[in-house]
Chains A and B, each alone.
Chain A
């Protein structure tokens, strides 16, 4: 028996909007720790890892570890039917091939339930080792989204370079080139507007902008994004989910010519 009650149902709506275009089908894993997902895109270039900790739910009942295969497009369709202020409860019985989403309006005058078919998904689970990153950039998520969108109108790839001077995003395409430098800036009034760079050594990596733009669909989940870079590892693009956990996107770099 599984029963998860999330008062801030909009978080789950935003999570699905953030990942549904990257991954078609995925297993949601439910354990005492929380509600989690790990999935790769169909090309095995990017990986998404989601964790919503059990403490973040108003009510969290998970009698035994459960893996539920869902089509994310269909799940997003159902969650779109929940209001932004609705409380969302997920329910599943042991051995059932369906999951039920219950939506309650804040005033309890409208209660809906949507039952969705589960599916068998043969997915690989990858071990993600703890890593020391050469550079960690923390910046406003809206700024990162703007940069990825702007650069993708010029080129297909972005070179992210971190030095003591700041973080540089560069692209080139048929019409020309673009470079955007964000300097460390931690003197702003609001912490969510700061750009903070921690660097042990300079790093420069090339990534496909198509994936970066897809990751920025998680922007509504957090005002801050963290980019963790090492010269021989996938970049980690992390959006923290307040009080609950995170959504992390891993993207394999392109090989430098």
Chain B
């Protein structure tokens, strides 16, 4: 099973 990345690792909080 390929581990899933999260959106928050690409886009940061404003």
Interface of A is mostly: loop
Binds B, one of A6-14, A26-34, A42-50: A42-50
How far is A40 from B7 in the complex, measured between Cα atoms in Å? 8
Q: Which residue of A lies closest to B9 (CB)?
A: A252
The residue from A126, A233, A257 contacting B12, defined by CB atoms under 8 A apart: A126
> What's the A-B contact tally at a CB cutoff of 8 Å?
57
**Cβ–Cβ contact A45 & B12, under 8 A:** no
**Cβ–Cβ contact B11 & A46, under 8 A:** no
How far is A251 from B4 in the complex, measured between Cα atoms in Å? 10
The number of chain B residues touching the other chain, given as a range, is 10 to 19
Tally chain A residues at the interface, Cβ within 8 Å.
25
**Cβ–Cβ contact A157 & B14, under 8 A:** no
Q: Which residue of A lies closest to B13 (CB)?
A: A124
Asked if A128 CB lies within 8 Å of chain B CBs, one says yes
The residue from B10, B13, B14 contacting A252, defined by CB atoms under 8 A apart: B10
How far is A194 from B7 in the complex, measured between Cα atoms in Å? 30
**Cβ–Cβ contact B5 & A254, under 8 A:** yes
B14 smallest CB distance to A (angstroms) = 4
> Interface residues, chain B, CB within 8 Å of chain A?
2-14
